[in-house]
């Protein structure tokens, strides 16, 4: 399985795109501005999108994806998320005010998109790849995602602050090979991180100390212009870990 990083920044700016990952050629995890790096043919090949939460930097590409290739598809695009996340998308995005409801276009019997609830810690297997939401703590309903194939697992935290439940879930995955986890702010901005429920270096270091598994750790969602400061602080407060900033265009091979 190829896990391709289309976007992994905590914001936009020259060369930066927000969160969007591609699993092989047919699945996306989140749909931030990284989706704009795909060609029309690549967009048309996407059959499933897993959404960790409904903040704009993770979902703004979803309606544009449907607008771009909905008429070229033979079956609806399927969006998988926690029921609470789908409720937010229904109420605040696909609501005929901010964007048309493509669950009814061109008709309710033949829509361009279909919502499929994925309750917490329920697994869904697609072509030998299993996707399972894990608990995290964010400002809105949110989850992490465990992606498993052939005895190997990768976990993407989504957006989160410190979460004992998330650490417990990670420690229960013996084949965890990769952990993609956010750290949005440097320590000097701890008040903003706490208010918005994101990680900062000290909080992530405390969580890493609680891990009993030893995956490769990739840092994502770094705020634009603050990337080097955050990574430098992380390496100071978590010296026992090799922490690497996730890069747009990077491909992680699993299995």
CATH number of the domain bearing residue 135: 3.60.15.10
Q: Residue 99 gets which letter from DSSP?
A: B
Strand partners, 79: 49, 115
Q: How high is the mean pLDDT of the chain?
A: 98
Q: Give rounded-to-5 percent helix, strand, coil for the chain.
A: 30, 30, 40
- Find the domain containing 223 and state its range: 2-253
Residue 164 and residue 169: Cα distance in Å, rounded? 9
pLDDT at 130: 98
Length of the chain: 255
Q: Which of 55, 15, 22, 51 is nearest to 38 (CA)?
A: 22
Express each pLDDT in 50-77 by its tens digit. 999 999 999 999 999 999 999 999 999 9
What residues contact residue 248 under an 8 Å CB cut-off, 6+ apart?
Answer: 5, 6, 7, 8, 9, 15, 16, 17, 34, 37
pLDDT at 12: 97
pTM above 0.85, yes or no: yes
Q: Which residues of 175-194 are buried (b: 16+ CB within 10 A; e: fewer)?
A: ebbbbbbbbbbbbebeeebe
Structural domain count of the chain: 1
Cis peptide before 188 (omega within 30 of 0): no
Strand 77-81 relative to strand 48-50: parallel, antiparallel, unpaired? parallel
Confidence of residue 215 (pLDDT cuts 50, 70, 90): very high
Express each pLDDT in 138-195 by its tens digit. 999 999 999 999 999 999 999 999 999 999 999 999 999 999 999 999 999 999 999 9
């Amino acid at each position: 399985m190829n896990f391709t990083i289309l976007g992994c920044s905590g914001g936009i700016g020259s060369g930066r795109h927000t969160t969007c990952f591609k699993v092989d050629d047919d699945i996306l995890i989140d749909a931030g501005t990284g989706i704009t790096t795909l060609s029309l043919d690549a967009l048309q090949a996407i059959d499933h999108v897993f959404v960790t939460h409904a903040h704009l930097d993770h979902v703004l590409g979803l309606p544009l994806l449907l607008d771009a290739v909905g008429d070229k598809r033979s079956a609806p695009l399927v969006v998988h998320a926690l029921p609470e996340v789908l409720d937010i998308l229904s109420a605040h995005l696909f609501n005929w005010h901010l964007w048309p409801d493509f669950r009814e276009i061109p008709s309710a019997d033949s829509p361009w998109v279909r919502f499929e609830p994925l309750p917490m810690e329920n697994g869904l297997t697609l072509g030998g790849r299993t996707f399972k939401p894990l608990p995290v703590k964010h400002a809105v309903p949110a989850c992490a995602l465990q992606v498993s194939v052939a005895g190997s697992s990768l976990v993407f935290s989504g957006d989160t602050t410190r979460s004992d439940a998330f650490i417990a879930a990670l420690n229960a995955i013996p084949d965890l090979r990769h952990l993609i986890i956010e750290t949005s702010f440097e320590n000097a901005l701890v008040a903003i991180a706490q208010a918005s429920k994101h990680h900062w270096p000290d909080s992530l270091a405390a969580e890493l100390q609680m891990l009993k598994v030893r995956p490769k750790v990739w840092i994502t969602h770094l705020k634009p212009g603050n990337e080097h400061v955050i990574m430098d602080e992380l390496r100071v407060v978590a010296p026992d870990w090799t922490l690497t900033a996730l890069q747009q265009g990077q491909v992680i091979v699993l299995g």
